Amino acid sequence: MIEKMGELKLIATPQSFYCARIQWALKLKGVEYEFIEEDLLNKSPLLLKSNPAYKKVPTILYHGKPLAESLIILEYIDQVWKHYPLLPHDPSDKAIARSSAFADEKLYTVEVWEAFKSEGEKKEKAIKAAVESLATVEKQIEGKKFFGGEKIGYLDFVYGWLAHWLNVMEEVGSMKLLDKGSFPSLHHWCLNFINNPIIRKSIPSRENLVEYLKGSLRYHRALAGANKN
């Protein structure tokens, strides 16, 4: 199914890895879309109307119909544009991939973000939890090129943040989670994934991400300071 420009719109920000997931899927499938850049500090009426519950990016509009949440959008894309399947066909493999994505939510949004933004004992505790979770991801990728086998697919998009964003978070947040020696298979996967030309094209530059994450860290630390008073 070839799309005319404008039938599929992606409301997104260039720095968000959740948004990169969607761009990777659309580009690998060769689906045309319009990228509408959102200002998260001054959200657009289009985003507020399209995703009234969470007001987050990515949100897509397909023939005017809105859909939010990156994992749900990925599955939807896979069902509408069936060539180059992203999720496994087998129900059990599909459920396993979905549950792995569920675990990734905890790893990224709870453990890694906590390690990134906090300090002292709280930071150390979060680093320990994140490293334990990473060990289970290391087991999943051992002996494989990509999470689903030989081709990039759903779980590679889910874990895509490990291949680019994490390294910048480690630098800005003064921490080390993905140590090459402890996680050789994951490290190898990161290189395989990020060196794919389609994936590489839809990632923010390191400099841009450093600035963005420094801003995020200032914001979170200021908020934590204000909450103490």
Ligand X SMILES: N[C@@H](CCC(=O)N[C@@H](CS)C(=O)NCC(=O)O)C(=O)O
Find the binder of ligand X among 6, 30, 37, 40 (CB under 6 A).
Answer: 40
Give the type of residue at 6. Answer: G
55 near ligand X, judged by CB under 6 A: yes
What is d(CA 71, CA 173) in angstroms, rounded to the nearest whole number? 26
Contact stretch for ligand X (CB under 6 A) within 23-31, 55-63, 124-132, 169-177: 55-63
Q: Which stretch binds ligand X (CB under 6 A): 23-31, 56-64, 114-122, 191-199?
A: 56-64
190 touching ligand X, by CB under 6 A: no
- Judged by CB under 6 A, the chain residues 63 through 122 that form the site for ligand X are 69-71
The nearest distance, CB 103 to ligand X, in angstroms, is: 14
Least separation, in Å, of the C-beta of 181 and ligand X? Answer: 30
By the rule CB under 6 A, 58 interacts with ligand X: yes
Residue 16 as a binder of ligand X (CB under 6 A): the answer is yes
Residues that bind ligand X (CB under 6 A): 16, 18, 40, 55-58, 69-71
